């Protein structure tokens, strides 16, 4: 019984230590308070397990078990953190006009990879900044991910460039947020565009570039969002498109394992990028919403509530972090690590909220979400009076 107890507790200690290391690397470092809490909890569990082990078995076996677990943990960390040499590898990154895409394209080119940076406007400000900062390793491509002819043109250009070596990486980063609004109010055209850009475009690009990725036994990295796993009021369609991409990534990971192509999902939380749009784009989307909302919904929600919706974008942007380096670091790890993880969750609460969503009772999580995701103080007109509509 003592041997079995030792084995069980040793496995327990090893698991706690491993999960601590996983959680720390997957984004907790972005939030000091969360990092401290998780570290303190894990250390308490390890010490408690160690004390239990000491009381049940002899010291020699106790020390041997801990030594074995420590060696296994160090070996696993060394293997996982080993990075591949970047020279001779080429990567296609979509959505490089700004945000994650632009930061990643510059970072990869500075590491020595050849980067094909897809942009919506090859003559725009973002493209010019890429050219200035990226050097000879960065190639700017006109690439609207919903335009089949532009995708085919990019494929021909990249195939000519990489030849038989193949394409090492495809990063499906391009995405749109559209307009945070109650699902009932969301224009159907905007919903279709969200699915086209955030999900179907990634499917199309994977299908087109997989022959080149197989040659290199390379990587596919898809960019999702915490909204794709955690239900967030106002982001129903956006979250659905990212959830579809997340599930597709999981299936693709299983299907391509035999080919040596690895698939990773980046699920950022709380970073400020141009996906929030400008005041002009918010006004345009609001006008589209007002033009398509039904008379019944307009009466129930009221003009005041509908007019308050653009403020959600501003508040979400203000609450987001400007430093994109945690996301870029995870991108680079997914592309260059010998053992990339299937999921990366950089950002404040990037792992905590999904954990609560999976583990908390529905009523408890709904109460948490109702407080966290309240981006307007205005209530719909139909909820301001207890009197039913006649």
Active site residues per annotation: 238
Q: How far apart are CA 6 and CA 22, in angstroms?
A: 24
Ramachandran assignment for 117, one of left (phi > 0), alpha (psi -120 to 50 degrees), beta (any other): beta
Tell me the residue length of the chain: 390
Question: If you write DSSP's letter for every residue of 199-257 in order, what string do you get?
Answer: IIHHHHHHHHHHHHHHHHT-EEEEE--GGGTS--TT-HHHHHHHHHHHHHHHHHHHHHG
10 CB contacts (<8 Å, ≥6 apart)?
53, 65, 66, 68, 69
Residue 118 DSSP class: E
Give burial (CB, 10 Å; 0-12/13-18/19+) of 139. Answer: buried
The answer to whether the beta carbons of residues 389 and 299 sit under 8 Å apart is yes
Q: How far apart are CA 259 and CA 278, in angstroms?
A: 42
Q: How many of the other CB atoms lie within 10 Å of CB of 352?
A: 19
The answer to whether the beta carbons of residues 171 and 264 sit under 8 Å apart is no
Beta strands at 219-223 and 114-119: parallel, antiparallel or unpaired: unpaired
The answer to whether the beta carbons of residues 264 and 26 sit under 8 Å apart is no
- 3-class secondary structure, 294: coil
């Amino acid at each position: 019984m003592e041997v079995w107890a030792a084995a069980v507790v040793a496995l327990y200690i090893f698991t706690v230590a491993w999960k601590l290391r996983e959680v720390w690397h997957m984004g907790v470092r972005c939030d000091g308070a969360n990092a401290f809490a998780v570290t303190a909890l894990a250390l308490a569990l390890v010490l408690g397990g160690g004390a239990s082990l000491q009381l049940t078995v002899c010291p020699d076996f106790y020390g041997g078990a801990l030594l074995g677990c420590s060696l296994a943990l160090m070996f696993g960390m060394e293997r996982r953190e080993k990075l591949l040499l970047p020279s001779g590898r080429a990567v296609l990154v979509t959505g490089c006009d700004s945000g994650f895409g632009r930061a990643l394209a510059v970072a990869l080119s500075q590491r020595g990879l050849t980067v094909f940076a897809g942009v919506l406007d090859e003559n725009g400000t973002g493209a010019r900044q890429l050219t200035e900062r990226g050097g000879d390793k960065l190639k700017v491509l006109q690439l609207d991910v919903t335009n089949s002819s532009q995708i085919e043109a990019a494929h021909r250009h990249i195939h000519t460039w990489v030849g038989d070596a193949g394409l090492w990486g495809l990063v499906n980063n391009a995405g749109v947020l559209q307009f945070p609004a109650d699902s009932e109010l969301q224009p159907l055209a905007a919903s279709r565009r969200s699915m086209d850009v955030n999900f179907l475009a990634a499917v199309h690009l994977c299908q087109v570039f997989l022959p080149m990725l197989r040659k290199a036994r390379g990587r596919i990295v898809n960019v999702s969002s915490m909204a794709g796993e955690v239900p967030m009021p106002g982001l129903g369609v956006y979250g659905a498109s990212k959830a579809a991409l997340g599930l597709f990534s999981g299936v693709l990971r299983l299907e391509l394992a035999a080919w040596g192509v690895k698939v990773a999902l980046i699920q950022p939380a709380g970073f400020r990028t141009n996906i929030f749009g400008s005041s002009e784009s918010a006004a345009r989307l609001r006008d589209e919403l007002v033009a398509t909302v039904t008379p019944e919904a307009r009466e129930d929600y009221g003009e005041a509530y509908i007019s308050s919706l653009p403020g959600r974008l501003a508040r979400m942007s203000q609450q987001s972090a400007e430093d994109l380096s945690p996301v870029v670091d995870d991108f680079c790890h997914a592309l260059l690590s010998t053992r990339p993880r299937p999921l990366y969750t950089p950002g404040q609460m990037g792992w905590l909220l999904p954990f609560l969503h999976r583990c908390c009772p529905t009523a408890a999580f709904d109460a948490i979400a109702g407080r966290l995701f309240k981006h307007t103080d205005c209530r719909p007109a139909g909820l301001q009076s207890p009197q039913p509509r006649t």
